[in-house]
Structure 1
Amino acid sequence: MIQNTTALKNTSKTKARIQKFGGFLAGMVIPNIGAFIAWGLITAFFIPTGWIPNEYLGKLVGPMITYLLPILIGYTGGKLVYDVRGGVVGAIATFGIIVGSSIPMFLGAMIMGPFGGWAIKKFDKLVEGKVPTGFEMLVNNFSSGILGGILALLAYTVVEPVVQGFSTALGSFATAVTNAKLLPLISIVIEPGKVLFLNNAINHGILGPLGIQQAKEVGKSIFFLLETNPGPGLGVLLAYWLYGKGTAKQSAPGAIIIHFFGGIHEIYFPYILMKPLLLLAVIGGGMAADLTFVITKAGLVATPSPGSIFAELAMTPKGGFLPVISGIAVGAIVSFAIASVIIKRSGDESEYDSLDDAKRMVANMKAESKGQKIEINMPKLIVFACDAGMGSSAMGESILKKKIKDAGLEIEVKHAAVNQIPENADVVFTQESLAQRAAQVVPNAKIVKIKNFLDQSAYDEFIKSIKN
């Protein structure tokens, strides 16, 4: 019994570390998604096979993917570690790994950016209190310049060849798997990983760099479709809408709109976790969709983020709409067929009748405590935090902000990534799996755990408590 408990604790810690690492990777990429979309649109329009080929404007494509995007990632990674000063050194170090590389150096940027931020942070701590008065600016500027230059030289001469070799091998392996028609099997890893809130790490940390490398060579990539495909999740939600019961059935239509059109895939994760057997539905739907993508040679020009059908179509190259739409539709149909059988077979099992039961199940699976009474004073700043700080947190902010306004309260509400919660936050709403990380970032803030973004009971209880 003791051994089982220890094993569960170790598993929980390992999962938490993986989620934290995945969140950090996503935190480097997601703030720069606008730049990726800009590059994707320019590519889709102006390359020789684009919508309106233009050799002059097409010259933007190469420099943007080679220099702009990796440097942005490196700067953001350094900034996550040590604010703007870390971002500057991270960008300098990243440039060293870009020069001379024959491939887009996104993986290198994810290494050198945070490393540059960490290095300058350690240096500042080392000299803290030892700099003579009046020499602070001189030391700050020269230390970041000298250290950044050293890291750039190190990246150019040592790190770049290693990372390029690894990236080339990884790309070759991915191409071989694709050519062998084995790519659909990747859904066995991707779909469960998404439900465990590793979706951003999988997409932006692994598939994104592979996709960009392939898109640079052939103008599009199937890797942009593997994690972002809304079809499998749509199939599960449709099955709940038709054959589910209780709160799950009632909330499914709203979840469909948010998932398929809004692109926030996290919305369907609790629906799967309430019936873990539904993993078979999304895996089956993902495999069927990926097989369709492979057969029809589907691909996108850049990462669609969020994974909305609108973003998918916006990143579709000329002549590629039918393959992309076909794969999404096939994924939804297969997922719906499998999910329908599983949900109907559940019969009248009371423990699966509502999302409330699913939330308790999620809490047990994640080894989290089961809720708490909210007792707080009138806050000034409320932050809704999610792993990436965009999709689900923005949705939660919108819902909570409206309720606060309707209640006649004047409280500032923001959304942020869990690693970037403002220090002056009084209350933080976040997912149960991220509560511990949020508490580490803002130890003095009240952490309110949210199990389902559409369940507004926590918001109502919160407002009632502060009004009283």
Structure 2
Amino acid sequence: MTTASTPTQGRGTRVAVQRFGTFLSGMIMPNIPALIAWGIITAFFIPVGWTPNADLATLVGPMIHYLLPILIAYTAGHMVYGVRGGVVGAIAVLGAIAGSDLLIAQFNETQPADNQLGQIHMFIGAMIMGPLAAYTMKWLDRLWDGRIKAGFEMLVNMFSAGIWGFVMVVVGFYPVAWLVNGIMTVLGNAVKWLVETNLLPLTSILIEPAKVFFLNNAINHGVLTPLGTQQAAEEGKSILFLLEANPGPGVGLLLAFTIFGIGAARASAPGAAVIQFLGGIHEVYFPYALMKPILILALIAGGMTGVTTNMLLGGGLVAPAAPGSIFAVLFQTARDSYVAVILSVVLSAAVTFVIASIILRASRKRDLAAEEAGLDTFESAVSQTEANKGKSSAALAGLRSESVDDVAAAGVGAASVLTGKQVNNIVFACDAGMGSSAMGASVLRNKIKKAGIEGVTVVNKAIANLDATADLIITQNQLTDRARGQAPNAIHVSVDNFMNSPKYDEVVDLVREQHHGGA
């Protein structure tokens, strides 16, 4: 096994932000079905819903105020310390919920009836209390691990968790409730100021590049989802759910590559557009943007157009659209927002398409000259923005990866790295383990099946869930450093695009040789 070079400080910062975003995503993503269920109830049964029902509308408040934060806290605690951490985390967040309610009630007593504050929903409190309670419970358990007399284990385990849950409820009730109420007030006022000053479209300057560099989870799940849910509970919809999920800019970029691109990028762009727009897997357009970093300007312009459209026409969703498919977006669109939301998607795609087309046309002669010389650029610019070029006949396979464990040369690169380890368990890993990694796993699984290879599993996981059972891990270039940190003894292969990397064929050839002696 070869080892990776020492990461630069910039890369270390990027990896740290990605890891933090992945942890936030891990708390939220498994609970998206609950958010969707809440959104359906809201869309149908509140007074301005499709089928108003006062009785069923009483579900809206308890779900958003109690159920969803408790689910998030349990999920976060479970990530840290299994079921035991989840239970203590769920107990702890109730203190933050009750403490927040008390603070608001005390404030409202001092205010006139027409200036009352509404409830603060403890999404951020759950993201704090869940991991905190679980980490501290895990640390406490280590103090008496192996020191409990036989027969008293269950007694100690039950009472220690119960007592520590009580302690964390009090911690949540006082400092954490006060802290989160303050954070939500500041963030809410900031968003309100951006809306009132018509500056909300400027958020695309941060969000669109963050998406391309896999840094969006910290923004989306740490800020936009809690604030959007709060706004939707109060107003029935929120524009914040569309700041990151709008599929328009991505499909606009891919359509520009479909018409004006060259080489491997143009060939794969139509399929990527279908997957991105209909399937909601936005990661598939990132390599196209990073092929020419100036194209990020087209994405920013498209994002700003979509936000502006929704601001002017009052568009919003009743709950998060996850994944960011056009179907999910339309499903969560508020009753009075279909025209605004559809226009925001169409116009954002159109603006991105026009600007990206101009950029691609302006560099077309240079790109064609490079292609005629046998070179094609389809690179990642997260950790290395300079061109990584290979023969056009094997454009992706010849690209140089950040990972020294990656395929170094077309045709033989994979074998030179992989022959030292028997490969039985292949894992595709991405941030949430649900989108692009599932797509890549499906592609390779089909290739292995067609090759007649048995006894090899291909699964998809979140990077945070990688363990020692993986023999070979496939990630996108930007995420390989983090994957190696989670599973240092596995073989790591980096790809630019989960859809159709030629490296899959090399992996299949290697596995066939290991299992069938090259037959």
Task: With the length of structure 2 as denominator, give the TM-score of the two structures.
Answer: 0.86
Is contact 2:11–2:383 with CA below 8 Å preserved after alignment?
A: no
- SS at 2:429 equivalent: strand
Which amino acid counterpart does residue 392 of structure 1 have in structure 2? S
- Per the TM alignment, residue 453 of structure 1 is displaced from its structure 2 partner at its CA by 1.1
Report matched runs for 1:161-172 at 5 Å. Answer: 161-172=178-189
State the shift of 1:360 in Å.
Answer: 6.1
Within a 5 Å distance, the mapping from 1:151-230 to structure 2 comes to: 151-230=168-247
**4+ residue segments displaced more than 6 Å:** none
The yes-or-no answer on 1:386 pairing with 2:438 is no
Cα distance in 1 between the residues matched to 2:488 and 2:160: 32
Deviations 1:357-405 (A, max 9, x none): 2236556249923623432555332221101111111111111111111
Q: Deviations 1:1-56 (Å, cap 9, x if unpaired)?
A: xxxx99x8111111111111111111110111111111111111111111111111
Q: Which amino acid aligns with 1:388?
A: A
Root-mean-square deviation (Å) = 2.0
Aligned partner of residue 414 in structure 1, secondary structure: strand
Q: What pairs with 1:312-461 in structure 2 (closer than 5 Å)?
A: 312-350=329-367, 357-359=377-379, 364-365=384-385, 368-369=402-403, 371-372=406-407, 373-374=413-414, 375-376=418-419, 377-410=421-454, 411-461=456-506
**Offset of 1:202 from its aligned partner?**
2.1
Secondary structure of 1:241 counterpart: helix
In structure 2, do the counterparts of structure 1 residues 362 and 247 end up closer, same or farther at CA, with 3 Å as the change threshold? farther
Moved more, 13-22 or 380-389: 380-389
Structure 2 Cα separation of the partners of residues 233 and 433 of structure 1 = 18
Task: Label 1:119 to 1:194 Cα distance change in 2 as closer, same or farther (>3 A).
Answer: same
Give, in whole Å, the separation in 2 of the partners of 1:324 and 1:229: 9
**Map of 2:165 onto structure 1:** 148
Report the CA distance between 1:133 and its aligned residue.
1.8
SS of aligned partner of 1:359: coil
Q: Is the 8 A contact 1:274 1:362 kept in 2?
A: no
What secondary structure is seen at the aligned counterpart in 1 of 2:377? helix
Letter of the 2:97 counterpart: I
1:197-220 per-residue CA deviation (whole Å, 9 max, x = no partner) reads 122332222111110010011000
Q: Matched residue of 1:456: which SS?
A: coil
Q: How does 1:300-311 map to 2 (within 5 A)?
A: 300-311=317-328
Larger radius of gyration: 2
Cα pair distance change 1:290/1:361, threshold 3 Å? closer
Matching of residues 90-169 of structure 1 within 5 Å: 90-101=89-100, 102-169=119-186
Compute the displacement of 1:138 (Å): 1.4
Contact 1:363/1:369 (8 A) holds in 2:
no
| Residue 422 of structure 1: how far off its partner (Å) | 4.4
Q: Is the 8 A contact 1:274 1:355 kept in 2?
A: no
For residues 127 and 430 of structure 1, the distance between their equivalents in structure 2, rounded to whole angstroms, comes to: 39
SS at match of 2:214: helix
SS in 2 for 1:220: coil
Residue in 1 that maps onto 2:82: 83
Residue type matched to 2:486 in 1? V
- Matched residue SS, 2:270: helix
250-259 vs 93-102, greater mean Cα deviation: 93-102
CA drift at 1:312: 0.2
Identity of aligned residues (%): 51
Distance in 2, Cα, partners of 1:405 & 1:466: 12
On the 8 A contact 1:385/1:418 being kept in 2, the answer is yes
1:270, 1:362 within 8 Å by CA — same for their partners in 2?
no
- Supply the distance in 1 between the matched residues of 2:8 and 2:490 (Cα, whole angstroms): 25
Greater shift in the superposed pair: 429-438 or 323-332: 429-438
Q: Aligned to 2:460, what secondary structure does the other structure show?
A: strand
User: Counterpart amino acid of 1:89?
Assistant: V
Task: Report SS of the residue matched to 1:348.
Answer: helix
* Secondary structure class of the residue paired with 1:413: strand
Partners of 2:364 and 2:299 in 1: CA distance? 21
> TM-score of the superposition, structure 1-length normalised?
0.95
Deviations 1:121-175 (A, max 9, x none): 1112222222222221111111111111100111112210121121122112211
Higher mean C-alpha deviation, range 293-302 or range 354-363: 354-363
2:43 aligns with 44
Judge which range, 434-443 or 346-355, deviates more: 346-355
- Consecutive unaligned residues in structure 1, runs of 5 or more: none
Task: Report the equivalent of 2:34.
Answer: 35
Residue equivalent to 2:389: none
Q: 1:361 to 1:193 in 2, by over 3 A?
A: closer
Structure 2: stretches of 5+ with no match in the other structure:
101-118, 387-400, 408-412, 514-519
Secondary structure of the structure 1 residue equivalent to 2:295: helix
CA distances 1:68-107 after superposition (whole Å, capped 9, x unpaired): 1111111111111112211111111111111243211101
The answer to whether the Cα contact below 8 Å between 1:248 and 1:355 also exists between their aligned partners in 2 is no
Deviates more, 1:185-194 or 1:86-95: 86-95
Please give the per-residue CA displacement for 1:264-283, whole angstroms capped at 9, x wherever unaligned: 11110110101000011001
Residue deviations 1:231-288 (CA, integer Å, cap 9, x gap):
1111111111111111111111000001000001111011010100001100111111
> What SS class does the counterpart of residue 382 from structure 1 fall into?
strand
Q: Which amino acid aligns with 2:472?
A: V
Change in Cα spacing, 1:337 to 1:352, as seen in structure 2 (3 Å) is farther
The structure in which a higher percent of residues are helix is 1
Task: Report the residue type matching 1:393 in the other structure.
Answer: S
Stretch deviating more after TM superposition (76-85 or 37-46): 76-85
Tell me, in whole angstroms, the C-alpha distance in 2 between the residues paired with 1:286 and 1:355.
32
